Each structure stands twice: as structure tokens, then as C-alpha cells.
A and B are shown apart, each in its own frame.
Chain A
């Protein structure tokens, strides 16, 4: 499954991020069988691995499956080749984001990471409020959650910054470099 006709640069970038062992994939489908959201996916996790190895960049990045992974790690626990498919999905997300592609799932992740860079910690209320702008349909669950949690004193907006934000920023900048 070498990327003969496909985008070799894309394949190599996935391998750099997810590990060279991805090349040993035997396409057994254990990852897809283990996946709790497989039934919602357009392309199974097994196919994302195949697309990645064959350099089929557009098919891989356009797949809704990239954003349906819950990071539960069952694929990783079960892979008979010791591949970590969850990290491969992360690699696809990372490439998607670095190329400046946008959608609502990417927007959530982007806001999440920006908040870590800015404050060092996550304030869930702030994050949900910011996400509303990217995905107005999320207003329903945000309101429902808000009504449930507000009387319990569990909604707090913290904008305090940790001391080490410079270190956090350099972790993103240096380790996240393409």
C-alpha cells in the first residue's frame, strides 16, 4: 500500500504524526469494529488508515468520521499491529486545521486550544458561549445544560490566567510545527 499515485507528502505527514507503525496495517477492521461511533461514520476508521497510506488526502480529510471519533482509545487497545488509530485521526484533524480548512467541529477544537494558549486552563462556560457563534444550532444544548447547571452553582466564568502561559504557547508553537 505505498502511495504510488497518491499524495506522498500527505502520507508522510500522517506517518510523522501518528507513527511509522501505521504502515504495518493489515486492514483487518478491528478498529472499526471496536469504534462506538462507527455506525455514524461515512468512512470507517479502517478506511481512514487506508486513505492515509494511499495518499488519498481529499477523501480522508473530507470524511465526517474524522470528527466523530470520541477519543475513547478502544481501537488503540485492540489493534493487533500496535497501531494507534486515534492518533491517526488526530493527525488528520491537525492537518485539516493547519491547512486553514473550517467547519463546526474544527471550530470547537480551535476555540478549545486558543483558550488553553490564552489562559492556560479551560473555562467551559466561556468555551460554550464562544462556540455559539461558530455553531448557532448548539444554542439548544448549551441552554439546556446552562439551565441544569446554573442553579447547582456549576457555571462559573474564570478568566484568570496561569503564570506559565508563555511555556504553554511555546508547547503549541514548537511541538505543533508541521
Chain B
């Protein structure tokens, strides 16, 4: 399989491990990625005029001839929204008037969906069974929104299917599709922090050993912010938060450095030791 890859802005900074683990895992699974030439920001959640937002997404889409894959839910949602809105003839002609190349339609995919498709055909490469590992599937908001993407926005199950494919166990996680508040973190820190704290507490209550994410902003909020929240609430939370690509990488037997596991704030090393202990117990 060959896909165009849209890394997104965070791939170069706060989401380095997302990008690294995506590239490593895709290479291991024989998914060939061709980075979009001269890609630009999708606008994330900070371009309020939707016509501009669609234009920014479309500028990236027209760089590719192949289906486009991204590992970031925000990019995924924006590119998908653009594809939907560009079906409206007036919107398409308006946007095409400013682009250097005509937009003619596109297929947008999230890495989760791509990996799951490959593993469902052939799971022989999964050499490390994540047996008994309790995983909280954190969808956040934009993986399934707007409607029409890889799964139902109200009752999504794709992450549970993914977790099951890795032989791990998904916990019942009530806030799995609740927004992390990340987009308002800078100007409204307190509001965002309260939301993140609720989500982490919910994962803890569900007995999760790890939370998996599909979005670099969710990841930043749940992982890099965890220590601050622990200090603020004077309690230990201590749940590692991994990208789906990092978790599948562990199951593929790939090394911590290839997956950027050293870049996570809450270390997943104790969890990985437990995985190997459970494996040798059998």
C-alpha cells in the first residue's frame, strides 16, 4: 500500500513521537508513505472563517495524487471537512479560483484506520501479545467528527477493535469521546485543565493501565499536563498516554527509541515490563 503522508505542524515539535512512531510502524507493516511536498498548516482550530479553513486544507490536498494519510485527528477532521464542503459547487469554484492547481476530490485517511485494515488482513507480525493489558481508548472529538468519517461519532468502536486486534482489553471509559479542551488551553488554561483532570480520573476509575490517543493535542493535554495536574490536585494519577502507533509498535516488537517512547512525559516503561512479564508467564 502506498499513501501520501501529511505530517502536520506538530510532527516537528510537541508531536515528534507521533510522527516517528507513525513512520516506523508504517515501514514495519509495508505501508509506503510519500510525504506531501511543501505541505502547510491545515489551520487547526484557529482559523474561524470556514472558507479560509477549507482553502488551507485544499492547498494540501492538491499536492497529492494518492490517498492522503495523517496521524493527527485535527488535520484529519479539517481535511475531511474540506472534502465534504468542496462538494458544494459554489464553495468549490470559490476555492478553486485562488488555488494554483484545481481541486478535483480526494480520499483522506487516519493512520488508525490504515493500520487496522492491514492488521485485520494479516496479524502475524504482532509478535508481542498485549494480553490482559487494560487500555482506555480515548477518541477525543475530531477523529469521528464531522459525520461521515471512519466511524460513528456517537458510538465509535474502531479503537476497541484495534485494541482487540492487539490482544489487549479495552476498559469501559465513559468520557472516551469527551473533548480534551486543548484548543482553548492557551487563553483559557483553567477551563481546559478541569476537563483534562476529569478525563484522567475517569480512565483511572476504569482501571486503565494506559490511555491511547489519536490526536497530538489530546496527547499533549493528557500526557505532558499530567504532572502539573497531579501537583495541583495533590494526588498521583500516573497513567501513561500513548499514541495508537506507539502501542501497536510495542506489539510489533519494535524498540522504544524507534517509537519515541522516551519522549512521553509519563514513562510507559513499567507498563512495558508488565507486558513482557505476562508474556513469559505463559
A108: which B residues are within 8 A, CB to CB? 46, 186-187
A124 in complex: contacting residue of B14, B77, B94, B184, CB < 8 Å: B14
Stretch at the interface among B50-58, B109-117, B238-246: B50-58
B265 in complex: contacting residue of A67, A152, A155, A170, CB < 8 Å: A152
Give the distance to chain A from B87, nearest Cβ to Cβ, in Å: 14
- CB <8 Å contact, B183 and A70: yes
Interface residues on chain B, size class: 35 or more
A122 in complex: contacting residue of B9, B49, B55, B100, CB < 8 Å: B9
In the complex, the number of residue pairs spanning A and B with C-beta atoms less than 8 Å apart equals 184
- CB <8 Å contact, A90 and B184: no
A153 in complex: contacting residue of B16, B49, B95, CB < 8 Å: B16
- CB <8 Å contact, B195 and A105: no
Stretch at the interface among B140-148, B204-212, B247-255, B271-279: B140-148
A152: which B residues are within 8 A, CB to CB? 262-265
B141: which A residues are within 8 A, CB to CB? 70, 72-74
A99: which B residues are within 8 A, CB to CB? none
B99: which A residues are within 8 A, CB to CB? 167, 171
- CB <8 Å contact, B145 and A73: yes
The docked-state distance in angstroms from the alpha carbon of A89 to that of B49 is 10
B53: which A residues are within 8 A, CB to CB? 90
Besides the known contacts A69-B184, A108-B187, A120-B40, 6 further A-B residue pairs in the complex with CB atoms under 8 A apart: A105-B188, A167-B59, A168-B56, A171-B56, A175-B52, A176-B52
The docked-state distance in angstroms from the alpha carbon of A163 to that of B77 is 25
Q: Is B122 an interface residue (CB 8 A)?
A: no
Q: Is A26 an interface residue (CB 8 A)?
A: no
B-to-A contact residues, CB < 8 Å: 9-10, 12-16, 38-41, 43-56, 59, 77, 94-95, 97-100, 141-142, 145-147, 153-154, 178-179, 181-189, 191, 195, 224-225, 227-228, 262-265
A94: which B residues are within 8 A, CB to CB? 48-49
B38: which A residues are within 8 A, CB to CB? 120, 162-164
A109: which B residues are within 8 A, CB to CB? 46-48
The docked-state distance in angstroms from the alpha carbon of A91 to that of B56 is 17
- CB <8 Å contact, B187 and A138: yes
A97: which B residues are within 8 A, CB to CB? 48
Which single residue of chain A is at the shortest CB-CB distance from B97?
A174
What are 9 A-B contacts with C-beta separation under 8 Å?
A67-B187, A70-B141, A72-B142, A74-B153, A121-B40, A141-B189, A148-B228, A152-B263, A172-B55
- CB <8 Å contact, B179 and A72: yes
Q: Is A28 an interface residue (CB 8 A)?
A: no
B15: which A residues are within 8 A, CB to CB? 154
- CB <8 Å contact, B186 and A128: yes
B46 in complex: contacting residue of A76, A112, A141, CB < 8 Å: A112
Q: Is A24 an interface residue (CB 8 A)?
A: no
A-to-B contact residues, CB < 8 Å: 17-18, 36-37, 40, 67-74, 76-77, 87, 89-94, 97, 104-105, 107-109, 112-113, 116, 120-125, 128, 131, 135, 138, 140-141, 144-145, 148-149, 152-156, 158, 162-164, 167-168, 170-172, 174-176
Which single residue of chain A is at the shortest CB-CB distance from B178?
A36
A153: which B residues are within 8 A, CB to CB? 16, 263
- CB <8 Å contact, A171 and B59: yes
- CB <8 Å contact, A90 and B13: no
A40: which B residues are within 8 A, CB to CB? 188, 191
Which single residue of chain B is at the shortest CB-CB distance from A89?
B48
Knowing A70-B182, A113-B47, A124-B14, the reply to whether A77 touches B153 (Cβ < 8 A) is yes
Knowing A77-B153, A171-B55, A175-B51, the reply to whether A70 touches B98 (Cβ < 8 A) is no
- CB <8 Å contact, A72 and B55: no
The docked-state distance in angstroms from the alpha carbon of A67 to that of B185 is 11
The docked-state distance in angstroms from the alpha carbon of A175 to that of B100 is 14
- CB <8 Å contact, A164 and B40: yes
- CB <8 Å contact, B183 and A71: yes
B228: which A residues are within 8 A, CB to CB? 144, 148
